[in-house]
Structure 1
Amino acid sequence: MTEVTVQAESAAREADLAPFARVCAVTELPSDTAGTGRYRGFIEDIWTIGPKLHGGTMVAASAAAATRWLRGTAPGAQDMFPVAASTDFLGAPDPGEVEFSVRTRKAGRQICLVEADLVQGDRTLVHTAFTFGRLDDTPPLYAAETFADMPAVPPADALSYGAEAPMGDIVHVAQGAAMAMDRDWARFAAGERGEPRLRLWIRPRPGDEQDDEVAALFALMAGDISPPVTMNLGRFGWAPTVQLTTYLRRRPAAGWLRVICTAQQIGARMFDEDQVVVDATGAVVVQSRQLALLPQSSW
């Protein structure tokens, strides 16, 4: 591939105003089983970490299918949205066509429970149990000032995720959104070690940001956007997620999302990682916690 071709492809992706909307666009398929919905989706290769689909993106795509199903089958759930997602990864899907098998476990007036399986090659590779409810839309009674010292927009010295940056070759999600990392917290980028914590900024493309539903699902995805915090301890490589739990609290305001990532304990085999996402107004929109396998390579 020539440098001109690479530049042309990069420019085309920059001009794409709504790449995440395509992640959320699912097509209904004939159902094989009563009480189960089936949908087809397509997740492009820009939503990958290395060669495999990004976990948070698959959760968001599954949420889109579950929302489509619930609103089509439960008349009182038209204003509900996934407020919690509990995800188990049974395998690592490739980019391309996927299917979703969706079923309702409970249809209540305030809370609904829906399960969604992401299927590829006749195998269920991701299973998510969604809790549906109504998102907060008023100021919180209390909110911790977790982000008080984090700028609302990336500073000039923030680390880039562009093709020329070290992370750009791995985190292809940066081709579908604007992303940057806090240089002061990412000690690994300077060849140093530090606390297992990272801070990032991420913002959807204009078309994705202007669609309220897509923007909310994008924020749900952002709850899994951080690299492993173990990188600051000199542990690099693939850190497969064992289990991921994500809460969506409210729809994000337009603008940059700030993500802060910390760990409570890093063991010999597994580690936890908490991520909190706030919008441009400082409101918490997403919280997540995952348990992952510790990368084995070190320096």
Structure 2
Amino acid sequence: MNATPFFDTLAIRPLGNGTFAADLHPDWAVGERPHGGYLLALLSRAAVGGGSLQPLSVSAQYLRPPKVGPVLLRTERLKAGRTVTAVRSVLEQSGQTCVDAMITLGELPDEEPAYSDLPEMPVNPPQDAVDLANPDTRAAPGLTRTCDMRIDPRSAGFLRGSTSDPLRLRLWARPHAGQPDVLFGLVAGDLTMPVTFNLGRFGWSPTVQLTALLRARPANGWLRLVVESKAVHGAWFDEDTLVIDSTGKLVCQARQLALSPLRAPD
């Protein structure tokens, strides 16, 4: 599979005054809709610009879905400090704001964590892990072009036709081209199919708001994703994702508020 290297899909062209032009890459789209985590990575790339800082947190409002193709990225530095820099980063298309994000930049720590309490999960996907490139899994087809993704079938009741399993999923992911980097770690926080698949609610589940905390640079190898929801009220649901690298470091914590179809399809 000839996937475009992930960082190459985040190319930006400076236009001056903190404004950049970019092209939303079709490899990171589901139909015409670019993946939400990919949009966060692109906004963060613009916020970093040519500097050496890294995103520490990203909080984004998804106002309307853009389409694959050209976009404008506008950034505004709100604070530049010795520890953190705050940047507003906005993605526009056809004169409309699509995603509006607040991004905190700083230095990611390189030392080992002083404390860590993370769920246990095998470093590599076990033999019975299901490859999400298989169309029978109802995975988003655009993402399997760019990522190798496997899911623990014991957590995915929807694979068995069940609608009563807990809303918890366990997955493994890595890019087809290259190794995960900081911005791919950010993408991984939004890489899973909606956890509400375990309720039988398939179809588009748009993210309304997403906040991601980047905690460390990912090591080479598989990223482990632990995904769960605490409550589903009507169409609204929350989704929390922990992203853990091959050495056991926490790479990203993401929480989003999203909408799901109210009924499972007949």
TM-score (structure 1 length as normaliser):
0.84
Query: In the TM superposition, what is the alpha-carbon distance from 1:43 to its structure 2 partner?
Result: 2.2
Specify the alignment match of 1:261 in structure 2: 227
- Establish whether residue 91 from structure 1 lines up as the match of residue 46 from structure 2: no
Once the 2 structures are TM-superposed, how far is the Cα of residue 49 of structure 1 from its aligned partner? Answer: 2.6
Distance 1:279 1:90, change over 3 A: same
Report Cα offsets for 1:242-265 as digits up to 9, x if no partner: 110000011000000000101111
Amino acid at match of 1:87: A
In the alignment, the residues of structure 2 paired with residue 298 and residue 21 of structure 1 have an alpha-carbon distance, to the nearest angstrom, of 37
The 8 Å contact of residues 73 and 89 in structure 2, kept in 1 or not, is answered as yes
1:273 aligns with 2:239: yes
Instruction: Tell me the CA shift for residue 291 of structure 1.
Output: 0.6
Q: Which amino acid aligns with 2:231?
A: Q
User: After superposition, where does 1:209-288 map in structure 2 within 5 Å?
Assistant: 209=179, 215-288=181-254
Separation in 1, partners of 2:30, 2:239: 17
Q: 1:153 is matched with which residue: 108, 114, 124? A: 124
Structure 2 unmatched runs, 5+: none
SS state at 2:232 partner: coil
Q: Structure 1 stretches (4+) deviating beyond 3 angstroms?
A: 163-166
Unaligned runs of 5+ in 1: 1-13, 72-77
Query: SS of the counterpart of 1:297?
Result: coil
In structure 1, how many angstroms separate the alpha carbons of the residues matched to 2:195 and 2:27? 22
Alignment partner, residue 261 of structure 2: 295
Query: 2-side partners of 1:237 and 1:254: how far apart?
Result: 32
Q: Hey, what does 1:185 align to over in structure 2? A: 155
1:122 corresponds to: 95
Structure 1 residue 151: deviation in Å? 1.6
Task: Give the Å deviation of 1:166.
Answer: 3.6
Contact 2:5/2:177 (CA < 8 Å) preserved in 1? no
Contact 1:198 1:261 in 2 (8 A): yes
8 A contact 1:248–1:286 mirrored in 2: yes
Distance 2:146 2:260 in 1: 27
Distance between the aligned counterparts of 1:245 and 1:205, measured in 2?
26
| Pair 1:164–1:271, CA change in 2 (3 A) | closer
Pairwise mapping of residues 6-17 of structure 1 onto structure 2 (< 5 A)?
14-16=1-3
Which structure is higher in helix share?
Answer: 1
Cα displacement (A) at 1:120: 1.1
1:139 corresponding residue in structure 2: 112
